[in-house]
Amino acid sequence: MERSFKTEVESLKLGAGDIFAGEGILAVTKGLLQSGVSYVGGYQGSPISHLIDVLVDAKPLMDKLGVHLETSTSEAAAGAMLAASINYPIRGAVTWKSPVGTNVASDGLSNISSSGVIGGAVIILGEDYGEGASVIQERSHAFAMKSSMWLLDPRPNLASIVNLVEKAFELSEASNSLVMMQLRIRTCHVYGRFEAKDNLTGKISRNSKLDKPDFSMMRLPQPGFTVAQEKLKLETRLPAAIKFIKDNKLNEQFPGDSNEVGIILQGGLYNTVLRVMQRIGLADTFGNSRIPIYCMNVTYPMVPDEITQFCAGKRAVLMMEEGHPDYIEQMLNTVLRRADINARIFGKDVLPMGGEYTADVVMKGLIGFLDKVRPAGMDGLIDMAQKQVEQIAGFKATANELVGTAIPGRNPTFCTGCPERPMFASIKLAERELGKTHVSGDIGCHSFGMYAPFNIGNTCVGYGLGLASSTGIAANFSKRTISIMGDGGFWHNGLTTGVASATYNNADGVLVVIKNGYTSATGWQFLPSSMQRREGLVHQDQTIEKALRGVGIKWMKTVDNYKVGNVAKVLKEALTTAEKGLKVIIAQGECMLAKQRRVRAEDAKNIAAGRRVAKPKFNIDDQVCTGDHSCIRLSGCPSLTIKENPDTLRRDPVATVIESCVGCGLCGEISHAAILCPSFYKTELVHNPGIIERMLDGLRRRVIARLATPPAAITPLISTGGAIAQAAE
């Protein structure tokens, strides 16, 4: 990582009575240390990356507490780590982004769940769901149900969250089961506060090691034992979990003065629902509500007693459950039917089946529920709320009319200077000559190549699966196909699922491994191929090349991403060569954000020390640019944009390079490789030039000033033109 988490690390050291103020995911991290974990692992991804990142920087603290930190190479590796708690009373936690990470981890999780744990084992799930999500929209709830893992969904305030983290370990131990805690993206990023406790040291830890291995067939999911374990799950662990949840009041009940209706909600939705209720006069700011609320901080398993108690005597209950299928609502109906309680259940009939439950969605659903049920004495309030909704719809309609068009979205794209952008420009150029072929995309920053202006990548089915996902189509496609994989995906599983499998099956495609030295999309974590040589020496690390040779790759070429013309040539060669077998192009260039973080500091230091530093920047001659914007269509760089044409005659905006340009050189390369236009030029501002360079520059300036065409004086033609125009009016 090029980023430092010094201040965050400090807040992990807080003791009893101190006030922690900071981000949600950091609070969870502190909660883990307060629970006495002995091992922590995980795979980065939004929104939980910081949990691991901060702990990496907190090495002295971790050493002191004896906590082992594993920066796992995949979620499968992280999930399997929880096996430590099967045999030993040792607490541990792992984290990843869900549902994609849970998918990857679930083989291990199923088996650990079968064996059961005796030490508290907790999984922190970052839910990348809804607005701004980068992954498919599925629920973690399904995993909880199928593997008998308990799922926590705390009220989104730091005190509740941290308290529940601690309880999660106790619940895990009391029921010998894995416990998952799901945290929505806004919760992970919320800045709040809570009163800290001292960190705990595990009884077993790096500082106090085990010496005897534990063996029992009952801890192994082997034939003859899995059935017995299944019985344990249902007859012992589940009841124990329900009892613990009940005894410790993990779910909360908030009273209200209406005895006709009630609301059951997932803990994570509590704050949203309360604010909506406050807005329409059903609650105050401090959570005092007119309608009773049952808040499920544990969404699986359900506690039937609490549910029947809450619903008994009520005419109608609203189930607020985000995501689909409506697992909780189905369960709720089953529980109530069994107990013969006839409160009518509303849920997905007044709320949308899928999608994020934003405040606006909740407001409409809540009003819809009240309108159907019409509890006594709430008519006036319902009418006013409906008017409020109509008024807002009216405002939106007016705004739409005023703007006159739907403003297109700002899709994520490669950063300024990103080394992956030139790769896609090269593919586009190669396509011009060879025609388009099928491109199997992958997950990572390079998946932004699927957006305009490139629109390259016909499928994208999972992290590291670029090559594996091409095998069916490659065999059935008349042209050689291309697969893309980042170095992150390569180590996550691409080497085995893709490359090893391809050599084994004599595949004949082209694989582009984009090597930028980090898992950049998740926050610049290092990789197995950048661990030995940090400091961005991407081109000097040969780990990927060696691994490829090791599994039998013969045709392998390494290219510098920014040399677009050359990359296009190598691509064409790979696509057309008569040589059989998988052709691998290693496209390298260090992540520009990470590089800039480092280089800017280095440059500043060098300039201050009087050493020569040349700072490059690209520019465009306004008068040479004709405003066709083909450069933009081949690049999409955020720093390459348009501006009002300064020429009176021209109508179309001209291309321009703004100050954020880092001088990566792509503009020049593209205008060469695509034979675009001669508008681009590069300037290099030289700091601390040597005496000879300085003198030469002075001489050159004087000579060039004499050679150059001087600006003409203001001419009568133009000046009187204005005067005439005025006179004519």
Partner 1 sequence: MSDVRPVTVLISALGGEGGGLMTDWILAAAREHNLVCQATSVPGVAQRTGATTYYIEVFNQKLEPGKPEPVMALYPQAGDIDMMVASELAEASRACQNGFVTPDRTTLITSTHRFYLLDEKMGMADSRLDVERLENAARKMAKHVVAADFARAARDAGTVINAVLLGAIAGAGLLPMPVESFERAIKGEGKGAEASLRGFYYGLSVARGEVVELQPRVRAFAPKAEAPIVSDTLETLRDRIVRDFPPMTHEIVMEGTARTFDYQDIDYARLYLDRLGPVLAAERAAKGDFVTTRETARYLALWMAYEDVIRVAQIKTRLERVERARGGAGGKPEQTVIITEFLKPGLDEFCSLLPSFAARPLLAWADRTGRRDSFNVGLHLRTSTIFGFIMLRAMAGMKFWRRRGHRFSVEQALMTRWLAAVEAATTREPSLGREVAECGRLIKGYSDTHRRAQRNFIRLMDTVVDPALATSNGADYYMNVAAALATARKAALADPEGDALNTTLAKLNYPVAANG
Tokens of 109: 């999780």
238 in Cβ contact with 176 (< 8 Å): no
Ranges within 368-397 binding partner 1 (CB under 8 A): 388, 391-393, 395-396
Q: What is the DSSP string of 664-695?
A: -SHHHHHHHHTT--TTEEEEEEEES--HHHHH
Asked if 569 touches partner 1 (CB under 8 A), the answer is no
Residue with tokens 């060469």: 672
Ranges within 68-127 binding partner 1 (CB under 8 A): none
Asked if 137 touches partner 1 (CB under 8 A), the answer is no
Ranges within 479-518 binding partner 1 (CB under 8 A): none
Residue from the set 2, 53, 128, 590 that interacts with partner 1 by CB under 8 A: 128
Asked if 234 touches partner 1 (CB under 8 A), the answer is no
* Closer residue to partner 1 in complex, CB, 542/641: 641
Residue from the set 360, 383, 535, 602 that interacts with partner 1 by CB under 8 A: 360
Q: Which region, judged by CB under 8 A, interacts with partner 1, from 65-73, 270-278, 530-538, 549-557?
A: 270-278
Asked if 672 touches partner 1 (CB under 8 A), the answer is yes
| Torsion (CA) 533, 539, 542, 548 in degrees, nearest 10 | 140
Site size for partner 1 (CB under 8 A): 141
Asked if 681 touches partner 1 (CB under 8 A), the answer is yes
431 in Cβ contact with 576 (< 8 Å): no
How far is 370 from 263, CA to CA, in rounded Å? Answer: 11
| Cα distances (Å, whole numbers) of residue 76 to 87, 93, 129 | 19, 14, 21
Q: Are strands 293-296 and 680-687 parallel, antiparallel or unpaired?
A: unpaired
Alpha helices, H only, 83-157: 84-87, 100-115, 141-147
Shortest distance, position 257 Cβ to partner 1, whole Å: 10
127 in Cβ contact with 98 (< 8 Å): yes
Shortest distance, position 372 Cβ to partner 1, whole Å: 22
196 in Cβ contact with 163 (< 8 Å): no
Ranges within 686-705 binding partner 1 (CB under 8 A): 686-687, 689, 693-694, 697, 699-700, 703-705
Asked if 477 touches partner 1 (CB under 8 A), the answer is no
Spatial strand order in the sheet of 583-588: 439-440, 482-486, 510-515, 583-588, 555-560
Q: Which region, judged by CB under 8 A, interacts with partner 1, from 53-61, 128-136, 421-429, 471-479?
A: 128-136
* Closer residue to partner 1 in complex, CB, 210/699: 699
Strands (E), 567-679: 583-588, 613-620, 640-643, 654-657
Shortest distance, position 1 Cβ to partner 1, whole Å: 16
Ranges within 284-313 binding partner 1 (CB under 8 A): 284-288
8 in Cβ contact with 191 (< 8 Å): no
| Torsion (CA) 160, 165, 170, 176 in degrees, nearest 10 | 130
Q: Are strands 439-440 and 482-486 parallel, antiparallel or unpaired?
A: parallel
Task: Show the CA angle centred on residue 80, arms to residues 76 and 83, nearest 5°.
Answer: 170
* Closer residue to partner 1 in complex, CB, 259/391: 391
How far is 203 from 205, CA to CA, in rounded Å? Answer: 6
Ramachandran angles phi, psi of 517, nearest 5° = 95, -5
Asked if 407 touches partner 1 (CB under 8 A), the answer is yes
* Closer residue to partner 1 in complex, CB, 455/505: 455
CB atoms within 10 A of CB 193: 13
Shortest distance, position 460 Cβ to partner 1, whole Å: 13
Q: Which region, judged by CB under 8 A, interacts with partner 1, from 303-311, 471-479, 481-489, 637-645?
A: 637-645
Tokens of 429: 């150029």
Asked if 600 touches partner 1 (CB under 8 A), the answer is no
Shortest distance, position 702 Cβ to partner 1, whole Å: 10
Asked if 133 touches partner 1 (CB under 8 A), the answer is yes
Residue from the set 55, 190, 366, 591 that interacts with partner 1 by CB under 8 A: 190
Asked if 275 touches partner 1 (CB under 8 A), the answer is yes
Q: Interface mask (CB under 8 A) for partner 1, residues 4-43, using x and -?
A: -----------------x--x-------------------
Residue from the set 137, 258, 333, 358 that interacts with partner 1 by CB under 8 A: 358
User: What is the Rg, in whole angstroms, of the alpha carbon atoms belonging to the chain?
Assistant: 31
Shortest distance, position 445 Cβ to partner 1, whole Å: 7
* Closer residue to partner 1 in complex, CB, 376/452: 452
Asked if 209 touches partner 1 (CB under 8 A), the answer is no
Q: Interface mask (CB under 8 A) for partner 1, residues 516-555, using x and -?
A: -----x----------------------------------
Strands (E), 510-665: 510-515, 518-519, 525-526, 555-560, 583-588, 613-620, 640-643, 654-657
